[in-house]
Structure 1
Amino acid sequence: MYYYEDKWFKLIQGDCIERLRSIDEKSINMIFADPPYKLSNDGITCKSGKMASVNKGEWDRSEGLKDDHDFNKKWLLECGRVLTDNGTIWISGTYHIIHSIAFALMEMNYYIINEVTWNKPNAAPNMGCRCFTASQETLLWAKKSKKARHVFNYSLMKELNGGKQMRSVWDIPTTPMREKTYGGHPTQKPKELLKRCILSSTNHEDIILDPFCGSGTTGVVAVENRRKFIGIDTNTEYLELTKKRLLDAEGEITWMNYGQNPF
């Protein structure tokens, strides 16, 4: 099993449901989850101006409505166990999976704080020309109960939005090539998207978990902004990519020299 621990982050290889069971109960302040969208259906899309397959890997193939929904409930249950009572969870997805997740959250008595639309100004064109061009994803921001006292750094978000209240539609381009210096992931999210999620709902030295770590964008933004990070992924190569990005992020900031392991 791949495992790497640094002063400010841990990377763990394996099935997220199994690995989550090894994490202490109510020890995580915020979770960002980018689960499989189950959209690898042998269709086509546009990538860098060329026709390409939509397939991401076997991990992204649908097992059928019931099994996909059961999977969502299982990993959400384990996320709820490790999340603090006042912690929050962000979940991203397209229409292929996000409605199952929203229903699962309601079944489990989560309270949905916001539904955020990530609008992609530079979204890839539609190749089939038989429907509207998909140019957005949905992010659900939720907490374990309506009465939970969740973190929301309202003033900071207003400041980042030019002195105006930040709304729930975010215009953010897709991941730029400069964020793929060490390589990329087929579902890699841009740092700007994670920056808004993390800065809005956590404080310095909070612990952030990503159960579907991918190329580690959640961790990079967390470390750059003085948060601790735990990442889980099934793929060792992506964890190595994440490690390189995180070590690079560490090397650019001086506040790391605390000398004490924050975990």
Structure 2
Amino acid sequence: MGVILSGDALLTLKTLPPEYAHTCVTSPPYYGLRDYGVKGQLGLEKTVDEYIENLVEVFREVWRVLRPDGTLWLNIGDSYATRSGPQAPTNTRNSNGHTEKRVPAGYKYKDLIGIPWALAFALRADGWHLRDDIIWHKTNAMPEAVTDRPTRAHEYIFLLSKEPRYYYDADAIAEPCGKKGNARSFRGGWAYTGHTSFDNDAESDRETHGNAENERGTRNKRDVWSVATAQFKEAHYATFPPELIRPCILAGCPVGGMVIDPFFGSGTTGEVALQEERDFTGIELNPEYIAIAERRIKATEEKGIQLKMWNCRAAQTT
């Protein structure tokens, strides 16, 4: 079952009961990127610190609504300290262009701000366990007209948890691999084993020190994910690809469990959750994107999946 809640992420999260969801998979608006034309949107703060503080407050509520063994999978991109006027959109299907750019206080012109790690460290300081930095390698990254640095072709997905031990289904996202060995493998103590199996799973490694063939044909998923950016026909810029978040949902939530996304956008999290037989709750501030998500997810109704549309604005004002 799917539920879309219309409203501000922080206020709407406060209406949900504690320990409501198994996992959160989300991508908040990036700092200083676009004006989506909705009052109360995140990403247009005057300072980086204010942006980070606002997101920490949102994810503090995510913490509350997650089960004790819950996880947060957070996709976030970086920004540069630069100067430019507002730019109209080049995609005529969307009326939201780039915001006006100013160098934020405390940064030098052309600095890479480091938004992802600033947010990750702030969340860690707020109580989250920072478990992994997953690299989203964009196989079809957008070209950049720069001549003094490489073109950026990656973003981060941070895996965070409430507790040191949490629900994580490694088998659900295990990677296929061959049986042959590889001399690059190393084990504890930073000692290379030399000409041993790179593809062995953990159990085989323990039992044979990497010297046996991997009969299972799978290995633990690595933390560099090569996925092409999404091509979505409707009017939403920040659509992350379904195959990027599918492993997050499979590993972070059991079948029949609840996935939440407080920045629902065009509904990718909900679509993948339903495809994988999980329930979802999405929160979105922009009515235009809610309409897009509703159309997108209702296409799954022919498979017997139910979708409820809830409007929580009245609840937020009481």
- For normalisation by structure 1, the TM-score amounts to 0.81
Identify the residue that residue 174 of structure 2 maps to in structure 1.
158
Quote the Cα distance in structure 2 between the aligned partners of 1:159 and 1:153: 13
Work out which of the residue numbers 134, 147, 151 in structure 2 matches 1:129: 147
Letter in 1 for 2:127: N
Quote the Cα distance in structure 2 between the aligned partners of 1:62 and 1:140: 22
Between 1:214-223 and 1:101-110, the stretch displaced more is 101-110
Quote the Cα distance in structure 1 between the aligned partners of 2:230 and 2:150: 22
Identify the residue that residue 30 of structure 2 maps to in structure 1.
37
Deviations 1:227-246 (A, max 9, x none): 11111111011111111111
Quote the Cα distance in structure 2 between the aligned partners of 1:84 and 1:14: 23
Work out which of the residue numbers 201, 204, 215 in structure 1 matches 2:252: 201
Work out which of the residue numbers 85, 100, 120 in structure 1 matches 2:138: 120
Question: Is there any run of 5+ residues in structure 2 with no aligned partner, and where?
Answer: 80-114, 178-216, 307-318
Quote the Cα distance in structure 1 between the aligned partners of 2:133 and 2:141: 20
Alignment of 1:1-263 (within 5 A): 8-40=1-33, 55=34, 57=36, 59=41, 60-96=43-79, 97-146=115-164, 148=165, 150-159=166-175, 163-176=218-231, 180-181=232-233, 183-251=234-302, 253-254=303-304, 256=305
Letter in 1 for 2:50: D
Quote the Cα distance in structure 1 between the aligned partners of 2:44 and 2:149: 22
Identify the residue that residue 202 of structure 2 maps to in structure 1.
none
| Deviating 4+ runs (over 6 angstroms) | none
Aligned partners of 1:224 and 1:250 also within 8 Å: no
- Residue aligned with 1:37, SS: coil
Higher CA-based Rg: 2
Letter in 1 for 2:72: I
Q: For the structure 1 residues 145 and 115, does the alpha-carbon distance in structure 2 shift closer, same or farther, using more than 3 Å as the test?
A: same
Identify the residue that residue 111 of structure 2 maps to in structure 1.
none
Quote the Cα distance in structure 1 between the aligned partners of 2:241 and 2:77: 16
- For normalisation by structure 2, the TM-score amounts to 0.68
Quote the Cα distance in structure 1 between the aligned partners of 2:47 and 2:223: 31
Aligned partners of 1:223 and 1:250 also within 8 Å: no
Aligned-pair identity in percent equals 26
Aligned partners of 2:10 and 2:58 also within 8 Å: yes
Q: For the structure 1 residues 186 and 56, does the alpha-carbon distance in structure 2 shift closer, same or farther, using more than 3 Å as the test?
A: farther
Aligned partners of 2:13 and 2:62 also within 8 Å: yes
Deviations 1:57-97 (A, max 9, x none): 36433420221121011101111111111011111112333
Quote the Cα distance in structure 2 between the aligned partners of 1:187 and 1:33: 11
- Residue aligned with 1:208, SS: strand
- Residue aligned with 1:84, SS: strand
Aligned residues: 228
More helix by share: 1
Aligned partners of 1:93 and 1:138 also within 8 Å: yes
Aligned partners of 1:121 and 1:135 also within 8 Å: yes
Deviations 1:87-132 (A, max 9, x none): 1111111233312221121111211221100000110111233321
Question: Is there any run of 5+ residues in structure 1 with no aligned partner, and where?
Answer: 1-7, 41-54, 258-263
Quote the Cα distance in structure 2 between the aligned partners of 1:80 and 1:71: 14
Identify the residue that residue 5 of structure 1 maps to in structure 2.
none
Aligned partners of 2:4 and 2:281 also within 8 Å: yes
